[in-house]
Chains A and B, each alone.
Chain A
């Protein structure tokens, strides 16, 4: 009997340690095809560490399975496109040289898509510029183009809207929605609740490395009797009382 896999990414009992400090503690989740999965948490909750483990950048315990083929590495990395908190680019290269390297290594034959993306993110005038000289927002745009040019099955986005201008942020949101419609999956990590509420189908809230609550966005709002995801989030991490006390003391 054949079991058809519908999940794109399966993370099971993930643990990440930095020396004695536990950054992620037994986290499990699944991301299915055509789904935007939100990984939410306050600063230092373990979101970036989780993503770094998936990207094979840090050592971890537990299991990570991409498309039923095991840990992402080597050629399997072609199924992933990642936009990290700080743009992952080679700053000594020009924008054009860096994108040429990316499409060469990813074996992208559809140069037209690359051209469209460059125009969409208004990068054409910067093609000859060294990435080191670009503004943070433009570096982020280069990182986005490099992450999506090969139409990956899984998009991993860690605070991807950092430093993006309004127009580019809107374009990228549309790209995420189209990616989802085409059966792609998205792991979206952020602490900006308004964006997460709009684009995530399911979320997991983590704090101090562990899961606090998890489920479809609507269900979480109902479960926590919250009018917005921000309210639900603060309730989930028990921060409402603390905020009240702190602001009263000011």
Chain B
């Protein structure tokens, strides 16, 4: 019989608990053997995707023909490094917490507590080891090929800081708060820390004008130091910060991992002792009742990061719009509009992901799949017009051309089509006993990226063939409506 070490066995159990998560969904995998095999495959695919992106961006930013700028390129790969770890660890930790069977088993062994904490820490790291090795390996090779060592330092700094922030967020979420204010503050910080890397990724396109020499005074401050990785002083500063972050990870990981398998985070799920009101708040609209429950769940979930993140990035993009001139806004509006559209679809996705915990409970209630999708649609409608409307308002205030925003003000159905699509992905995932983890995120981001983009592509093609501005917008809207209707119909077939 092949021997397996305890940390290896635990890592496997954590991955199965995280990916398959039948305990949370209440659904059994239709083929457990296949699901377990897929867990490893998913890890490999995810590693390949992130390594590819890191490699691609490293190539784009290092290649001399592309004047992307060293600082912008460094921030982009730094953000990707951080996101690669946090985007995998956030849903995994969400799926794992509360799976106390692992802790109960370890407590029944004769191992001493310190050893147990160390082993669990090692097991938690093993859930993201491929992605760490993959992205670091690719960035190292790219750095050697293009002699752009800042790529390597940026990725390693992103990964080490990403892990540290993820662990710090979890550590925070397990802290008991004495007052409501500190509880809300803890919750917010814990939710937002892991997705802070979205900001450099989204803003890198706007930083290309910043020259490295203008930032020379800041070379010791992370993550700027990584951009100076081609100089000795920058490389030394980067090594220093990576060592600091790495040490932080080394110190935090055993304790945080143990907490993770010991129960739900107390910042999100405190033991309440206060009296609740005697009045029952019954809502007659099913859509609003479900929307309220989604908001309640979101306010106390690590996945709340998926809601807070887009809001922060929205504000940053909006600020960028405010500080740009009217003429550059007319040019930038399409990029910003598309970014806003993609940001808005993350919020309904987060709600679907949260409903996975206890998905079988929803199946017992008189709700069709379309009814489950409606609250998300309503929310998307509000978010979409908040985002695009704000951008349009900025353009109007700055006396820019509102016509440049027309495709977005009329283009709601493209992003809306991502909701039935997400519903379908979730139904398929539930059938295979999946959970709101990496497989689902990949499927969601890849498929949604295409679905949201199709109407815009139609618009571009029409414009390319000089079919007229309003005709192109009309074709774009019709494509979006068609996409949305077809996908809604397919979703209804799952009832």
Report which A residues bind B (CB closer than 8 A). Answer: 18-21, 52, 55-59, 73-78, 80, 82, 84, 86, 88-94, 96-108, 111, 114, 127-130, 132-133, 143, 146-147
Contact residue among B297, B354, B363 (Cβ-Cβ distance under 8 Å from A56):
B363
Task: Please give, as numbers and ranges, the residues of chain A lying within 8 Å of B293 by CB-CB distance.
Answer: 90, 93, 97-98, 101
Contact residue among A18, A82, A92 (Cβ-Cβ distance under 8 Å from B31):
A18
Assuming the contacts A73-B368, A104-B286, asked whether A130 and B269 have C-beta atoms less than 8 A apart, the reply is yes
Docked Cα-Cα span, A94 to B272, in Å, equals: 9
A57 touches B360 (CB 8 A): yes
A19 touches B364 (CB 8 A): no
Task: Please give, as numbers and ranges, the residues of chain A lying within 8 Å of B213 by CB-CB distance.
Answer: none
Shortest Cβ gap from B477 to chain A (Å): 31
Contact residue among A74, A92, A103 (Cβ-Cβ distance under 8 Å from B282):
A103
Q: Sorted from nearest, which 4 A-B pairs have the closest CB atoms?
A: A19-B31, A104-B289, A92-B297, A88-B361
A104 touches B284 (CB 8 A): yes
Docked Cα-Cα span, A29 to B33, in Å, equals: 31
Contact residue among A56, A74, A92, A101 (Cβ-Cβ distance under 8 Å from B300):
A92
A100 touches B368 (CB 8 A): no
A133 touches B269 (CB 8 A): yes
Assuming the contacts A74-B495, A92-B296, asked whether A84 and B286 have C-beta atoms less than 8 A apart, the reply is no
Task: Please give, as numbers and ranges, the residues of chain A lying within 8 Å of B270 by CB-CB distance.
Answer: 130
Task: Please give, as numbers and ranges, the residues of chain B lying within 8 Å of A114 by CB-CB distance.
Answer: 280
A57 touches B264 (CB 8 A): no
B residues 1-57 near A (Cβ < 8 Å) are 23-24, 26-34
B358 touches A90 (CB 8 A): yes
Docked Cα-Cα span, A132 to B354, in Å, equals: 14
B30 touches A88 (CB 8 A): no
5 contacts between A and B (CB under 8 A): A55-B364, A58-B30, A92-B357, A108-B282, A133-B269
B358 touches A88 (CB 8 A): yes
Task: Please give, as numbers and ranges, the residues of chain B lying within 8 Å of A108 by CB-CB distance.
Answer: 282
Contact residue among B30, B271, B297 (Cβ-Cβ distance under 8 Å from A133):
B271
Q: Which B-chain residue is minimally distant from A20 (CB atoms)?
A: B31
Assuming the contacts A128-B272, A128-B275, asked whether A103 and B280 have C-beta atoms less than 8 A apart, the reply is yes
Task: Please give, as numbers and ranges, the residues of chain B lying within 8 Å of A86 by CB-CB distance.
Answer: 23, 26
Task: Please give, as numbers and ranges, the residues of chain B lying within 8 Å of A130 by CB-CB distance.
Answer: 264, 269-270, 272, 300
For this complex, into which size category does the number of interface residues on chain B fall? 35 or more
Most buried by A among B29, B282, B301: B282
B357 touches A104 (CB 8 A): no
Shortest Cβ gap from A5 to chain B (Å): 21
Docked Cα-Cα span, A58 to B22, in Å, equals: 13
Task: Please give, as numbers and ranges, the residues of chain A lying within 8 Å of B371 by CB-CB distance.
Answer: 74
User: What secondary structure prevails in chain B residues at the interface with A?
Assistant: loop
Shortest Cβ gap from B161 to chain A (Å): 29
Docked Cα-Cα span, A105 to B367, in Å, equals: 8
B290 touches A (CB below 8 Å): yes
- A58-B27, A88-B358, A128-B272 known; 16 new pairs, CB 8 Å cut-off, are A18-B28, A19-B30, A21-B31, A58-B28, A73-B368, A74-B495, A75-B366, A90-B357, A90-B362, A92-B300, A93-B293, A100-B283, A101-B292, A104-B282, A129-B271, A129-B272
Q: Which A-chain residue is minimally distant from B303 (CB atoms)?
A: A92
Q: Which B-chain residue is minimally distant from A75 (CB atoms)?
A: B366
Docked Cα-Cα span, A19 to B35, in Å, equals: 11
A84 touches B360 (CB 8 A): yes
Contact residue among A19, A94, A101, A107 (Cβ-Cβ distance under 8 Å from B33):
A19
Q: Which A-chain residue is minimally distant from B354 (CB atoms)?
A: A92
Docked Cα-Cα span, A91 to B272, in Å, equals: 14
User: What secondary structure prevails in chain A residues at the interface with B?
Assistant: mixed
Q: Which A-chain residue is minimally distant from B300 (CB atoms)?
A: A92
Q: Which A-chain residue is minimally distant from B371 (CB atoms)?
A: A74
Q: Which B-chain residue is minimally distant from A74 (CB atoms)?
A: B368
B365 touches A (CB below 8 Å): yes
B274 touches A (CB below 8 Å): yes
Docked Cα-Cα span, A21 to B27, in Å, equals: 16
Most buried by B among A101, A114, A130: A101
B180 touches A (CB below 8 Å): no
B281 touches A (CB below 8 Å): yes
Task: Please give, as numbers and ranges, the residues of chain B lying within 8 Å of A96 by CB-CB distance.
Answer: 276, 280
Shortest Cβ gap from B466 to chain A (Å): 48
Shortest Cβ gap from A250 to chain B (Å): 23
Contact residue among B23, B29, B33, B282 (Cβ-Cβ distance under 8 Å from A100):
B282
B297 touches A100 (CB 8 A): no
Q: Which B-chain residue is minimally distant from A156 (CB atoms)?
A: B364
Q: Which B-chain residue is minimally distant from A73 (CB atoms)?
A: B495
B431 touches A (CB below 8 Å): yes
Shortest Cβ gap from B291 to chain A (Å): 11
B281 touches A100 (CB 8 A): yes
Most buried by B among A20, A90, A96, A114: A90
Contact residue among A82, A97, A132 (Cβ-Cβ distance under 8 Å from B364):
A82
Chain A proximity mask over B276-318: 1 for CB below 8 Å, otherwise 0? 1000111110100110110011001100000000000000000
Contact residue among A52, A97, A105 (Cβ-Cβ distance under 8 Å from B366):
A105
A84 touches B26 (CB 8 A): yes
Docked Cα-Cα span, A157 to B363, in Å, equals: 15
Shortest Cβ gap from A42 to chain B (Å): 17
B284 touches A55 (CB 8 A): no
B137 touches A (CB below 8 Å): no
Contact residue among B269, B280, B365 (Cβ-Cβ distance under 8 Å from A106):
B365
Task: Please give, as numbers and ranges, the residues of chain B lying within 8 Å of A101 by CB-CB distance.
Answer: 289-290, 292-293
B280 touches A100 (CB 8 A): yes
Q: Which B-chain residue is minimally distant from A108 (CB atoms)?
A: B282
A132 touches B264 (CB 8 A): yes
Q: Which B-chain residue is minimally distant from A101 (CB atoms)?
A: B293
Contact residue among A59, A91, A127 (Cβ-Cβ distance under 8 Å from B276):
A127
Task: Please give, as numbers and ranges, the residues of chain A lying within 8 Å of B301 by CB-CB distance.
Answer: 92
Q: Which A-chain residue is minimally distant from B358 (CB atoms)?
A: A90
Task: Please give, as numbers and ranges, the residues of chain B lying within 8 Å of A128 by CB-CB distance.
Answer: 272-276
Task: Please give, as numbers and ranges, the residues of chain B lying within 8 Å of A75 by CB-CB distance.
Answer: 366
Shortest Cβ gap from B97 to chain A (Å): 9
Shortest Cβ gap from A1 to chain B (Å): 32
B357 touches A91 (CB 8 A): yes
B residues 357-386 near A (Cβ < 8 Å) are 357-358, 360-368, 371
Docked Cα-Cα span, A94 to B27, in Å, equals: 22
